[in-house]
Amino acid sequence: MNRLVAVTGETLHRATEILRSGGVVAFPTETYYGLAVDPLQYLALDRLFLIKRRSRQMPILALVAGTSQLNLLASEIPTVYHCLMEDFWPGPLTLVFPALPTLPQQLTGNTATIGLRQSSHPIANRLIVDFGGPITATSANFSGAPSAVTADEVLRIFDDKVDLILDGGRTPGGCGSTLVGFCGASLCCLREGVIPFAAVQICAATNSIND
Q: For residues 157 and 162, give the distance between their C-alpha atoms in angstroms, rounded to a whole number.
A: 10
Checking if the pLDDT of 210 tops 60, the result is no
One-letter-per-residue 3-state SS of 113-171: EEEEECCCCHHHHHHHHHHCCCEECEECCCCCCCCCCCHHHHHHHHHHHCCEEEECCCC
* Of residues 59, 63, 46, 33, the one with CA closest to residue 146: 33
**Domain boundaries defined on the chain:** 4-210
Tens-place pLDDT, residues 93-107: 999 999 999 999 999
> What pLDDT score was predicted for residue 79?
94
The mean predicted confidence, pLDDT, of the chain is 95
pLDDT single digits (tens) 16-35: 999 999 999 999 999 999 99
Is domain 4-210 classified as CATH 3.90.870.10? Answer: yes
Rounded to 5°, angle at Cα 134 from 67 and 156: 130
Bridge partner residues of 187 (DSSP)? 182
pLDDT at residue 211 in the model: 53
* Helix pair 122-131, 9-20: axis angle to 10 deg: 60
Read off the pLDDT of residues 141-199 as tens digits, 9 standing for 90 and up.
999 999 999 999 999 999 999 999 999 999 999 999 999 999 988 999 999 999 999 99
Closest Cα to residue 97, out of 210, 12, 182? 182
Confidence band of 206 (pLDDT split at 50, 70, 90): confident
- pLDDT bin (cut points 50, 70, 90) of residue 207 is confident
CA distances from 100 to 10, 73, 83 (A): 33, 6, 22
